[in-house]
Amino acid sequence: MERPAWAPQGIDISVPSVSRIYDYYLGGSHNFEVDREAARKAMEFIPGLPKIMQANRAFMRRAVRFAVDEGITQFLDIGSGIPTFGNVHEVAQAACPEAHVLYVDHDPVAVAHSRAVLEGNDRTGVAPADLRKPREILDSPEAARLLDFDRPVALLLVAVLHFIEDEDDPYAAVAELRDALPNGSLLILTHAAYEGIPLPQEQAGGAVGVYKNIRNPLIMRSADEIAKFFEGYEMVEPGLVMMPEWRPDTPVAQEDPYAFSGFAGVGRKA
């Protein structure tokens, strides 16, 4: 197997990675054949997976613009993946050049790419850390350089919590991050769910099986289970809704049916 020049040393390119599969769905070029193969297998069950990822990204961009409009200029994006066009720092810094953005991911490929993309932008950074260990993130040198925890922060958990199994207690991790943020901070979140996928659950479950087989289980949670992540936050209108329904820029009726596969919401710490 040929190792591309951009692949960091020490990466096992025979094992699929969630962030590289996501990059493939979004039309990116930083993925290997093993990632493309897993993505194509999942798409045999849910052909609209790229549409779901695009809906995720579109929500993220709307939510980041909302945060800047609310006066927030600091962003902590955990499980950020591989930066593709229209990422958090591009959206935030287009609206507010002074915005600071810290990306966090535990995938070495995502971290290496983020560093390459962000080179020369001193108001951004990337920390190699895991959502399951919030202290590692909060105590990282990158967080100390970029984030002032005395002022509101927008915490982004976009398409990441559904990769954390219940036994790893994602609720505790989210609560620990919340407790570290000052009042006025925002939680920007999306999560996969069977609800809304325009397919029988058995068929959609086939795609979930693909992720399980590559040892990155995809945990589908109900709207009530997803709402629990917002404990300690006041929901911003319109609340926890399907991704295209959160403050849409264009008529929701024009959206692809697959775009409604998953929930999105923004909460404000009061």
Angstrom distances, CA of residue 203 to CA of 41, 47, 207, 221, 222? 12, 11, 8, 17, 18
Which position has the token pair 């197997």? 1
| pLDDT, position 9 | 73
C-alpha closest to that of 215 among 57, 14, 24: 14
Lowest-confidence region among 14-18, 60-64, 164-168, 235-239: 14-18
pLDDT band at 241 (very low <50, low <70, confident <90, very high): very high
Mean pLDDT to the nearest integer, 225-229: 98
Q: What percent of the chain has pLDDT over 90?
A: 84
Q: Which domains does the chain have, with CATH numbers?
A: 49-201+220-269 (3.40.50.150)
Kindly report the pTM of this predicted structure.
0.94
Mean pLDDT to the nearest integer, 173-200: 97
20-39 pLDDT, tens digit each = 999 999 998 888 999 999 99
CA separation for the pair 17, 108 (Å, rounded): 10
Mean pLDDT to the nearest integer, 163-171: 97
